[in-house]
Structure 1
Amino acid sequence: MTVSAADLAGELKLLRRGRGIAAPQLAERAGPALRAVCGMAEGEGNAAIRKTLGECLSGWARSLPEDLCTAVLAALGLHPEAAHPFYQDRVRWLAKHLQRDDRTARRRIDDGIHQLAEVAVASTSESDKTEAAQPSRRWHTEELRVAVALDQPVPEVLESRRIVADADDIAELDLALTLTDSVYRGEAIGSEDLRVDVFHGGRLTGRVMESTDRVGLALRLPSPLKRLSKHEIALRFRAEFRHPHFVCVPRHPVDLFDLHVRFALPIPVEVVLLERVFQDDASDEAARGFSLTPDASGEVHVQFRHLTPGFAYGVRWRPSEN
């Protein structure tokens, strides 16, 4: 089904009425454009539709300017501080939050919905092109959980990954890690620069420089996987961070990327979310995202869903000058 941004915006305006995404008749209110861009199957119940819509719409909204993102999430009933049963009450909450009148809040909502629809349609179209360009995809990551500890003598990254075979006889995984810094350009990244340990799930059988800053890793599995079977691996990486960011740039599709980053003292003066940006833009301060506030332990926790191969997802920080 071909979806236009205008059709999708119209359905989103209907969805924002009443309880929004919490509406008890959600299966009736989720129109064909919404179902198409979110990839919903026929016959799904309210709970499944609510979960899918929440994940998709929240993810797309994060790419909007902060005020429009807040406006859209509040209007649809997705903002935790605006979970009011009536749309008018959510408009009033937004007006107070923005320190504007109700009329301005409604304009922000309309602007946000139109931009959200454009982002959703563009994202869906690009994902379709990516899938069409990768007919030989043999496996994908169902769940990737990463913990980054920057308060260690040498920063450590713990990675736990569940992969799903999309073909038979998957015996080896092609993994990669990029260290972006001019220090490494033109020369190999040695084993002392990047240490890789396998905790479980396979054995490293190859390590090759794919570019001046990208290391390719071959992980041989204990036994070949059959189509639709799942397998879990756990790795540890140790390396100095040459740029103040950590991102995942998937080679294969990733359904869920869960990231914890623990900062060393002093806490960075700024931490921002990076979602679906070009890899080269990850270190560019002009590429902006949501501001994140580390908790009392100096940590931030973010999640990303349905990652597009070739784009970067993660966080960037600006170190304290002290």
Structure 2
Amino acid sequence: MASADLIGELNELRRGRGVQADNLHLLPLPNLRRVCGVGTTDAPAAVRDKLVLRLTELCGRLPADLRMAALAALALHEEANHRFLHERMAWLNGQINRDSLRTARRWINAAFKRLAHDLESAGGDNGSHHAPCGWYTESLSSSLNMELDPPQLTETRQIVATSDELDEIVIMISAPKGVELADDERVEATIEYGGRIVETEHDPSGHSRFVVRLPEPLGLGERHTYSVRFTSFPRRRMKPYYVLLPLRRVERFEMHVRFPTQECPSRIWRLNGVPPVVLDAGRPAEALLALDTAGEIGLEFFGLREGLAYGAAWIND
């Protein structure tokens, strides 16, 4: 399957009402159906749901301008779901302040090229041992309490299923690179609500993997919220940062860190999508963060990119 085939099918799909077309299930889109997990016996509503969910998910990984162009072209954008393609292109043109539709066409062509590549790369992918496919994180709220020793991290996630009958998910947490942990210092997890841990795996590199059985299987597009509490290794072994390094799509990440009153950092800075290799550089950003009167910081991130780090770093003088 070549990207050119997928680009051709995306161009076919964008005609008329796009994904809102009444005859969507009858369109000749064999490659799109395959990479979106559409089965030969799926009902028309299931065909639409699978195409919409997969395309929306992958459009979410595109840069903002290309994401808007792709969503508008396919009638997936809430403000651009007009009946005809030329109406959606006119809307897109208005967003980019151009008189000619030529710019809108260029944006759509560039967006479809990237989208086809991502679809081709993801097609038939079952994920990895550490990050199996089937769901993504719509929102994550975390709280790291460093007043406790060992510190405790609580995560609350709302996830969205991208496949039918999703009954298990995998949670990963890792010790910073270079931290040697004894057997009694490994990260442990406790589900507060929303599931039950049925498998635990620790590897020598400091990675901990937990398989969570959901209360009920999720259908395609269904949401579920769970909360998990991690007991970390001793505070003295922690590196001076806390970050999320997403292995799958994360739309929103909100984090709070509470520092010990007698050991507050002298400088704290935001890490907004940095390569992991710079985490140990210890170079403060220009915009430093201030602790509140409770000794806490709070940050929020949107549209996180896989493989980059989001969070905060600090220096203890």
TM-score range (shorter-chain normalised) is 0.5 to 0.7
Structure 1 residue 27, shift from structure 2 partner: 0.9
CA shift digits 1:190-212 (9 cap, x unpaired): 54x8453354766899774x133
TM-aligned CA deviation for residue 4 of structure 1: 2.2
- Alpha-carbon distance in structure 1 between the residues aligned to 2:181 and 2:192: 28
Q: Distance in 2 between matches of 1:67 and 1:211?
A: 42
In 1, are the aligned partners of 2:152 and 2:229 still within 8 Å (CA)? Answer: no
The corresponding residue for 1:156 is 153
Q: 1:157 to 1:82 in 2, by over 3 A?
A: same
Query: Which letter does structure 2 place at the counterpart of 1:245?
Result: V
* Structure 1 residues 11 and 211: CA distance shift in structure 2, 3 A: same
1:249 and 1:143 mapped to 2: Cα distance? Answer: 12
SS at match of 2:94: helix
> Normalising by structure 2, what TM-score?
0.61
Matched ranges for 1:1-322 at <5 A: 3-29=1-27, 31-100=29-98, 101-124=100-123, 127=125, 147-150=140-143, 152-153=145-146, 156-158=153-155, 164=167, 176-182=172-178, 184=179, 186-188=180-182, 191=185, 194=187, 196-199=189-192, 208=202, 210-215=203-208, 235-239=228-232, 242-247=240-245, 249=247, 261-263=254-256, 271=272, 316-317=310-311
Whole-angstrom distance in 2 between the partners of 1:66 and 1:258: 13
Percent identity for Structure 1 against Structure 2: 23
Q: How many residues align?
A: 259
TM-aligned CA distance change 1:68 to 1:147, over 3 Å: closer
SS in 2 for 1:42: coil
d(CA) in 2 for partners of 1:90, 1:71: 9
Amino acid at match of 1:157: T
Distance 1:38 1:174 in 2: 22
Judging changes above 3 Å, is the alpha-carbon distance between structure 1 residues 111 and 14 closer, same or farther for their aligned structure 2 residues? same
Separation in structure 1 between the aligned mates of residue 78 and residue 14 of structure 2, nearest angstrom = 15
**5+ residue gaps, structure 2:** 160-164, 214-224, 233-237, 259-267, 281-297
User: Post-superposition shift, 1:75?
Assistant: 0.4
- The DSSP-based 3-state class of the residue aligned with 2:141 is strand
Q: Structure 1 40/143 Cα, relative in aligned 2: closer, same or farther at 3 Å? A: closer
Distance 1:115 1:316, change over 3 A: same
Tell me, in whole angstroms, the C-alpha distance in 2 between the residues paired with 1:205 and 1:31: 39
Q: Root-mean-square deviation (CA), in Å?
A: 4.8
In structure 2, what is the Cα distance between the partners aligned to 1:283 and 1:30? 48
Q: CA deviation at 1:148?
A: 3.4
Q: Which amino acid aligns with 1:107?
A: R
Q: Distance in 1 between matches of 2:154 and 2:52?
A: 29
Q: SS in structure 2 opposite 1:82?
A: coil
Closer, same or farther: CA 207–13 of 1 in aligned 2, 3 Å: closer
Return 5+ residue gaps in structure 1 as ranges: 135-139, 166-172, 222-231, 251-255, 285-296, 305-311
Q: CA deviation at 1:53?
A: 0.9
> 1:71-124 CA deviation, whole Å, 9 max, x = no partner?
111100112222222211211121122233321111111121122112211221
Query: 8 Å contact 2:240–2:313 — kept in the other structure?
Result: no
CA offset at residue 52 of structure 1?
0.8
Q: 1:78/1:315 Cα in 2 relative to 1: closer, same or farther (>3 Å)?
A: farther
Q: Is the 8 A contact 1:142 1:164 kept in 2?
A: no
Verify the 8 A CA contact 1:82 1:93 in the aligned structure 2.
yes
Q: TM-score, normalised by structure 1?
A: 0.60
Distance 1:218 1:44 in 2: 29
Change (3 A) 1:248 1:159: farther
**Aligned counterparts of 1:23 and 1:47: Cα–Cα separation in 2:** 11
- Residues 246 and 309 in structure 2, CA contact (< 8 A), matched pair in contact too: no
Relative to structure 1, the CA distance from residue 51 to residue 318 in structure 2 (aligned partners, 3 Å threshold; closer, same or farther) is: farther
Cα distance, 1:47 vs structure 2: 2.2
8 A Cα contact 1:247 1:282, kept in partner: no
